[in-house]
Structure formats: C-alpha cells, structure tokens
Chain A
Amino acid sequence: MTADDLPGLNCGLCGLPTCAELAERLQTEPKLIERCIHLSPERVQGTKPASAAPVAAAAPGAPASCGACAPLQERTTSQSRLAPTWHDTLGRDIDFYLEHFPEDPGPREIILPHNPMLTREMNIQPGEILIGRPLGMSCGCPITHCGVVMQVDARTGVIVWCVTGPLNPRQKGFKDLGYYIAEGYEGMVAQTRVELKIGMRYFFQPRMCMLQWRHSGLVNFMNRTSGGIQVRLEGLWIG
C-alpha cells in the first residue's frame, strides 16, 4: 500500500503524523491499517493479512464489556450432569442454576460469623477449614457446612470460603465458627430460563446444595467471561 492509497489527511490519528509514514510502516506492519479511521471497514479488511485464528463474534445485541442482560441460555456445561427440571426438591420454581467457579474447590460464599469478632479471636487464616451453620435470616439451612477459607478481612470479620465436602475437616482438622450469616454467593450461571439483570432478585438453585432447596438472592454484580456469566448474589434466603 502506498501513500496514494491512504486518505492523505495527515491527521495523526493513527499515531504517525503523515500518511506517507503510515504507508512506509505498513510494508512491515500491515495490521497498522486498522488505525486509519478514515478507511471503510471493507477496505481495511481487504488490506489485512489473513488471521491465524478466527476472531469469535460478539454476542448479538450486547456490547462486549456489558454484562447487563444475559439472554436465555439452555446450554449445558461439563459441570452439569442433570437435565434442568427448573424445580427444587420441594417443587418450587427456580430461574437459574448456580455453578461454582471452575478454579474453586466448591461453591464460593461470603460469610460473616454471627460474632464477627471470632474472625480475629480465632485467628482465621486462608487455607484453614471451618465448620458452621448458616443461622437465621441468611438461608436458615439446617445443615452444618464446612469449607476452606480463601480470603479474610480482619477489620470487618468477613470471610470468603469455598464450601467443600466433610472429608476435609476429618483429614486436616478444623475450626468451629458456630453460627454464621451467609452474606453472598459468587458463581457461574450456565443454565437460566430468565434474562438476568443487575438489581433483580431471582430464585436459583446452587448446584451443590445438599438439600437441593431453592435460594433467593439479588444480583449485584455480573460479568460475561469466557466460561459463562459470572454473578454475585447478596440478600440471600432459602425458599
């Protein structure tokens, strides 16, 4: 491509002060053509070398950086072995299934000991195993949970843990929180039958829930990632 093929505006918007300099650089860096905003997309595409890997198309109707509206999805991930029934074990409707992050050992929860001072008094540290029951407003689940600590905020007492199976405490030892409040969940939504929006409350089924009871929570964070839609839910309860 020569300077004659370029607009000749010498605008500098490509990062080079003149079209002649851009034309010279294009001989060794053909991808620089993308920087000329005055050329039509077809002209730019025709000038670029063929890509080694195809570029994945963005989801139609959604800007790449916005996770606001997740369209209905029925695809099944490798984590889900069950065909969706859209009901919990008590026959109540659910809107979506919540999976745990693939890099985590189990569902990630944000919890607060009923006595927040325990976090410091017990010197809870990442990597330790805790057990406790989510009492009261949070969930009201009758089952004692156990999990591995991921993060600790000593100032507020908030703990981030991943719920794991009961084998871990037996093997590694554990600390007993007593009661705690489940303040939030984070996970991936692979199957949903509603459009997800930040600020809305939904009924959802944590895939690993031991009672397979539906939960309710408000989505206050959403992010479209390569593995699906990441969400954070707070204001939790069961039922």
Chain B
Amino acid sequence: MNDHIYFDNSATTPLDPRVSAAMQPFLAEVFGNPSSLHWAGREAHAAVEHARQQTADLFAAKPEEIIFTASGTESNNLAIIGLVEALDQRENHFITSAIEHPAVLEPCCYLEQRGLEVTYLPVDGDGLVHPDDLRRSLRPTTRLVSIMAANNVVGTLQPIRELARITREHGALFHTDAVQASGKIPMKVNTLPIDLLTLSAHKLNGPKGVGALYVRAGVVLKPLMHGGGQERGLRSATENVAGIVGLGRAAEIAREDMSAEAARLVRLRDRLIETLAISLPNAYLIGHRYRRLPGHICLGLAGQESEAIKLLLALDEAGIAISTGSACSAHHASEPSYVLRAMGFDVLRARGSLRVTLGRFNTEAEVDRFLDVLPSIAAALRPMTTRRPESAPAL
C-alpha cells in the first residue's frame, strides 16, 4: 500500500485513470487544430464538441451554452468582467458574498476601482448566505448576483435555488462559482434559474489547465481574450484539445457516479467526524453539520488553533496531506482565513482551521489510518490552555 494519503481534494484531485486514457490519443496522434478544415482538424474538432456535450450533460445544459476556458479563475473573470463590459447601462451594481473565492472577489475589487458598486453579503456562523440579506441588498441597478455553490474552505452548500430564484424575480443575472460543487451535487440549469456557472476540470478528477463557463442562451458577455474567435468569440485561442477531452470525460464519470459516490463520501466523512468527537474531545466542526460537500470537513482544535501549522506539517511527515484554509492561501499561511473571519471567528481561530477533504480515491483504510495518527499528533502539540478540554463545542 502506498504510504501517502491525500486528503486535500478541495485543492486538486488526482487524475482519474479513465480520464487519462481518454486524453492519451490527443497528446500524440490526434494533434490537429480544431479550427482547421482538413482531416486532422476535423478529428480534433469532433473531440472538442463531444466533450462539450459531455460537459453540458452534467448540468442538463445545451452544448452551445458551454464555453471552454483555461481554468475556473478565467471562467469567473469572464463571467464577471465580461458581463460588465457588455452592459450598456451607466449605473451598475453587483452583489456577491464575503466568502467567495479570490477568483470572484478580485475581479469585483478590480471593477470597484473602475466605478462598479459591489455589495458583499455577510454570512452566518455556518457560512450561509441568508436569502433575506440578498433581498434587502437588491437595487434597481443590480445586474449580477454571484454566490458560490459550495465554499472551498468550509464546504458549506449555499441555498442556490432560493438565491437564484430571488435574483431571477428581480430581473438580474445569477452566476455561481461551482468549482467545488460540480460533479458532487446535482446542479441542473434546466430547473435552477442559473445564468452563468463556473467549473474547473482539476476539481473533478480531470486535468489542470482547463475549465468551462456555462452561459445561458441570451446572456451577452464580452470576451477577455481577443483573437481567432474560438468558443463563439468569447474565448479566442487554439483549444487545449487534450485538456478539453479530459474535462468532458471527467464530467461524464462524475454525472454517472454522482449519487453513489456522494453517499460513499458522506459515510466516510461522518465516520471521521463521529470518531474524532470521541478521540479528540477538543475538536470542533466548522460549518453546518449537513449542508456541506460530501467529503468536506473543516475543523478546529480548541486551545490548539495556534499550532495548526505544526499539526499540518506533522501529518505531512506521517504521509498525510491535508490543508489549513485553502491552497490559494498557501503563500499567506500566516494570515487568518477571511472566510472564517466573515463567519465570526476571532483572528486566532481563523488561523487555526484544518481542512480535510476526501475524494474518489480515498478509502476506509486511509480514514482508519488518519484516525489512528491524528490524536497522537494533536496530543504532542502545545495547547493554549492547560485545562482539560471538558466542554469544547461538540462535533
């Protein structure tokens, strides 16, 4: 058995061998440019369009509504900045949440500096956006509401159906960053009033370097990349055929296996939570107990939050990969998580969270080993309190 355990699937996921197999021909013998008219181009073009259908099927969308990009970040930028560029009104207002990924917050910040008004909705102690807060924030000039389907730090699932419905009734567009949620929870755009949706291949056991944006028919965006006019003119550049094929296959596998895999991960997750509640009495769960991604756990150790980095490194030495906060914050590891601060955590606890995210290739045996190792590592840490953890909030 490989000694290494990977419990950081929210950062990235291992490439599924079935996806890798599907991509192989397009790394070698099928090399054409999909824009070319000859046999080599037609082969590549057909593969791209097949992947587009596979991706569309994951969301019950039409294939022409799927735009391939290089990443979830690019898709978010296209949705937000591309929409602003296309607006012809002079006064515009966007609404998003305080806990969005930087790939949403930074474009909003960029646009604020250029005159856009943005409202950042608060979240409660579980990281949930309240529909009433959205209702109160809507204005006649609101053009877009962007709320992520699932948070990357805490795993919280937002009430997207309700938020999108409120937005649609108001007459604004609704975008969701579904990078964490895609392939893990059902999101059918033929029943959910979502206008724009972001996904990223490497979060659903696909390759890095490819993402997609669902754009409902009738929604007008301006491109960020100008050139040869690929992807309906919204994303010029020669397509990453192998990557797109990989995304398509990954989306197909995720759609076929979704409910069984979600149930399996929920059982693993819950066993982990319930066992830790006994073996680590000072452990507390962060976020809603059930409204969370199937394999996602965010927890803290009361009195030991200041030692989170040491715990992470000790687990790494034991061959177990988890994270604190999110991967995108690895360069700012000394800063408290803005997501947890927005949820009401103090600066100490906001630095001390541990994120354990299970995925397709994680097993019961790996969970068992983690449950064996974690308590002994935690016991060796210096706590901030000398008192026994008698009544820390329960998991």
Contacts and interface: CB of A to CB of B under 8 A. Distances in A.
A101 B258 CA distance: 50
Contact of A11 (B185, B267, B346): B185
Interface in B152-210: 157, 185-186
B349 A68 contact: yes
Interface centre among B157, B267, B300, B387 (most CB of A within 10 A): B387
A232 B384 contact: yes
Contacts of A16: 263
Contacts, number: 110
A151 B393 CA distance: 25
A150 B386 contact: yes
B286 A12 contact: no
B386 A199 contact: no
Interface string B289-306: 011001000001011000
A64 B343 CA distance: 11
Interface centre among B263, B284, B390 (most CB of A within 10 A): B263
Interface residues of B, number: 40
Interface in B101-137: 124-126
Given A150-B386, A223-B303, A62 B344 contact: yes
Nearest to A151: B386
A189 to B, nearest CB: 14
Contacts of B384: 220-221, 232
* A interface bracket (residues with beta carbon within 8 Å of B): 35 or more
Nearest to B291: A37
Contacts of A10: 259
B261 interface: yes
A197 B285 CA distance: 22
Contacts of A27: none
A63 B344 contact: yes
B323 to A, nearest CB: 19
Contact of A186 (B126, B284, B345, B387): B387
Interface in A101-147: 101, 103, 108, 110
Contacts of B300: 65
A148 interface: no
B46 interface: no
Contacts of B380: none
B367 interface: no
A221 to B, nearest CB: 4
Interface of B: 124-126, 157, 185-186, 258-264, 266-267, 270, 284-286, 290-291, 294, 300, 302-303, 343-349, 384-387, 390-393
Interface of A: 9-18, 34-35, 37, 58, 62-69, 101, 103, 108, 110, 150-151, 160, 186, 197-199, 220-227, 230, 232
Given A198-B347, A225-B391, 17 more contacts: A9-B186, A14-B290, A15-B263, A62-B125, A63-B343, A65-B300, A66-B344, A66-B346, A68-B345, A150-B386, A151-B386, A197-B346, A222-B346, A225-B390, A230-B387, A232-B384, A232-B385
27 contacts: A9-B186, A10-B259, A11-B259, A11-B262, A12-B260, A12-B261, A12-B266, A16-B263, A37-B157, A37-B290, A62-B125, A63-B343, A63-B344, A65-B284, A66-B344, A66-B345, A66-B349, A67-B349, A101-B387, A197-B346, A220-B384, A221-B348, A225-B390, A225-B391, A227-B391, A230-B385, A232-B384
